Amino acid sequence: MNALRTLFGKEVLRFWKVWLQTVAAPVISSLLYLVIFSHAIAGHLVVYGSVPYTSFLIPGLAMMSVLQNAFANSSSSLIQSKITGNLVFVLLSPLEPWQLFLGYVGASVVRGLFVGCGLLLATAWFVPLQWHDPLWSLLFMVLGASMLGSLGVVAGIWAEKFDQMAAFQNFIIVPATFLSGVFYSVTTLPPFWVAVSRLNPFFYLVDGMRYGFFGVSDVSPWTCLGAALLGNLVCAGLAWNWIRRGYKLRN
């Protein structure tokens, strides 16, 4: 367990030493989204019958920040270690595959929660937060961060250069988070796009997060929980299997 604690501590320290870039900058970016969209749309739209649009945005932006930063943490760490060649020292350590997995994903969860909670604290200065079930929201933040941390491990193992990692993030992660209902309720979409949205696993994370705030959501909160658990199982299983096999890590 000492080896696991060392890897976890190294990964946390890696992002915390540049916290202005890894924590503060994402919070400020999300606040800019909140300011721009709230000024442009807030006066024209009420969601779920009585929820002001500005309040509606906050849990979606928080989850989007959690997902993107959890993914960035594990994926950037692995691709940098592969390209610089220092990954070999991690692989030579007495770490089991499950310990390697937990070290990278655990640090990703910490970074995702730092950014998500930082955004919620910052928005409290602008909009009073509504809390229907804070523990439910926290659960989805953890599930979202662990899912994207696992997916970041997959992407970091698969990618062989920074261009491939940038393509993975720009063409998969960013569009999926933006099209997950962060800025809108899917009930306002035409039927075809509602069906498409429900194929996006990130939608269930955002929707489950909103249920913790308002007690209402676009789909059943238990459906959201089931989808989040399934997504974690798939991503974690793939990441652990690739680490165990040494896929693209030992050559």
**Which pLDDT tens digit goes with each residue over 47-64?**
777 788 888 899 999 999
**pLDDT at residue 147 tops 80:** yes
**pLDDT at residue 234 tops 90:** yes
Strands 46-47 and 51-52: antiparallel
Residue 3: band (very low, low, confident or very high) from pLDDT cuts 50, 70, 90: confident
108-117, 184-193, 199-208, 236-245: segment of lowest average pLDDT: 184-193
The whole-number pLDDT of residue 99 equals 95
Domain boundaries, the chain: 2-245
**What φ, ψ does residue 20 adopt, rounded to 5°?**
-60, -35
**pLDDT at residue 76 tops 80:** yes
The whole-number pLDDT of residue 122 equals 92
Mean pLDDT estimate for the chain = 91
User: How far are the Cα atoms of 42, 107, 173, 237 from residue 77, in angstroms, in the given order?
Assistant: 39, 10, 17, 20
Instruction: Report the SS3 class of residue 52.
Output: strand
